[in-house]
Amino acid sequence: MPREHDARQQVKRIAERTRLYLALVIVVLAAIALGLAFKLGQAVWPAWMIAYRTQLIGVVLLFLLATIVASPIIVEVNSNPRHLSGPGHNPEQGPTERRMP
């Protein structure tokens, strides 16, 4: 019983840490988008940023939307990874031996 409890606790910790990292990424992307939209610090921007400001806002908002939409999937994949079978392993029968012809 303790092993199952420890495993569940570890999965919860991984999910919480992943949510924290995703929240930080979302906040940073939102701050960048708002900074570009309201032209904060435009005096120190390079010329190419001023010329492509609307395109940069679009790209940042696209990444922000993709991160928000994919966040449940990212949390699930990080907290409950599936072990894939490799060469010489049959997931239904266990490890198999390789035989030379």
The owner of tokens 């900074």 is 35
Q: What's the CA gap between 46 and 35, in Å, rounded?
A: 14
Domain boundaries, the chain: 2-80
Q: What's the CA gap between 76 and 24, in Å, rounded?
A: 18
Give the model confidence (pLDDT) of 36-72 as tens digits. 999 999 999 999 999 999 999 999 999 999 999 999 9
Q: What's the CA gap between 85 and 4, in Å, rounded?
A: 23
Higher pLDDT, 82 or 70: 70
Q: Going by C-beta distance under 8 Å and a sequence separation of 6 or more, which residues neighbour residue 12?
A: 79
